Amino acid sequence: MKALFLGNVAADTANGIVTRLPAGLRVEILPDPQQLAGSPEAAADADILVTNHWRAEYPPAPNVRLVQSVATGIELIDLAALPRGVVICNAFGHETAIAEYVLMMMLVWSHRLREIEGEFRSYSSWRSSWVQSGPPHGEILGSTVGIVGLGRVGREVACRAAAFGCHVLAANRTPHMPEGGVERIYALSELDDMLPLCDTLVLCTALAPETEGLIDRRRLALMKSSSLLVNIARGTVIDEDAVYTALRDRRIAGAALDVWWRYPDGAEPERRPSRHPFHELPNVIMTPHCSGWTEGMVARRWAEVAGNINRFVRGELLHNVVVRT
């Protein structure tokens, strides 16, 4: 049996878990998917693909029975390009890291950390201090946090926000009873009712037809002018033009964006994440899709991937099955 690890993240994963893989499993690593064009046999005899993308133009992989994603999302895997009967599994382990990131953004924003630290570092300015009776900054105690998407990440955000004394609301595609610090759960169709109540809106939802463009111009207009928008879901959950305009014109106070509408590729390794100059807006905190990229997450995800490969080779029940072709 053979496993093909395809892509740079998969290559790192292979090197990290090789000692935990089944004895006798052949492993091939292609860090650059373009290498497939010159080595079509790498896919032809693979039983397992470990990757987060698969495209129709790749060489056929007729023997593949398991695609183990090295990420949570599988939207870059072209299911139609795979044989019938393939099981696609994803991997998690990122919930803690992303939840900590969200709370960090809320605290940095409310305490005006970037502004105050920058002024003090650059100009020894005491104007934001009690020493000069400066304007006090905020805190998140008692604020209302709205979470869109109450999956693994959303639930972790809710627990931490509640522990900081926030009121926590959520909108979810599947309604259920509130728990874990959540005070009320709205159906996704009731999102408009939740938005005006939120001091911070956190997008944790998966990308799907019903969530693409979910936060559009009309919904941004329903939010408080003092609100903070945090997106750790997918860039296209938000209308790109609408949110840029809302931030530029201070229709909402600010945003922390970790996911984007454009990503780097071989031709543009330093590609700007949007066609709009978000980097020129002082009320935007920008990070390069790194909220979940911690040492702890890597260790947990490697363990999940290694565990599933072992289960597959032994013919056992797989974890985190998303879909079958």
Give the pLDDT confidence score for residue 299 in this predicted structure: 96
Q: What pLDDT was estimated at residue 302?
A: 97
Tokens 């878990």: give the residue. 17
pLDDT at 177: 85
Q: Which residues contact 295 (CB under 8 A, 6 or more apart)?
A: none
What length does the chain have?
325
| pLDDT score recorded for residue 155 | 96
93 to 19, 90, 156, 160, 219: CA distances (angstroms): 20, 11, 12, 17, 31
Strands 144-148, 200-203: pairing is: parallel
Distance CA 314, CA 27 (A): 16
Q: What is the pLDDT of residue 265?
A: 84
Residues of the chain with pLDDT below 50 are: none
How far, in Å, CA of 321 to CA of 291, rounded? 24
Predicted local confidence at residue 228, as pLDDT: 98
Question: How many CB atoms neighbour CB 165 within 10 A?
Answer: 11
pLDDT at res. 219:
98
pTM for the predicted model, two decimal places: 0.91
Measured from the Cβ of residue 266, the count of other Cβ atoms closer than 10 Å reads: 8
Tokens representing residue 251 in the block: 């229709």
Query: CA-to-CA distance for 294 and 285, rounded, in angstroms?
Result: 19
> Who's near 67: CB < 8 A, 6+ residues apart?
48, 49, 50, 51, 54, 77, 82, 86, 87, 88, 89
Helices (H), the chain: 8-17, 35-38, 41-44, 95-110, 113-123, 152-163, 191-194, 217-222, 240-248, 295-314
Q: Which domains are present in the chain? A: 2-93+296-324 (3.40.50.720), 95-286 (3.40.50.720)
In this structure, the number of other CB atoms found within 10 A of the CB of residue 152 comes to: 17
Exposed, middle or buried: residue 120 (CB in 10 Å: 0-12, 13-18, 19+)?
middle
- pLDDT computed for residue 266 by the predictor: 80
Which residues neighbour 244 within 8 Å (Cβ) at sequence distance 6 or greater? 274, 276, 278, 281
pLDDT of residue 115: 94
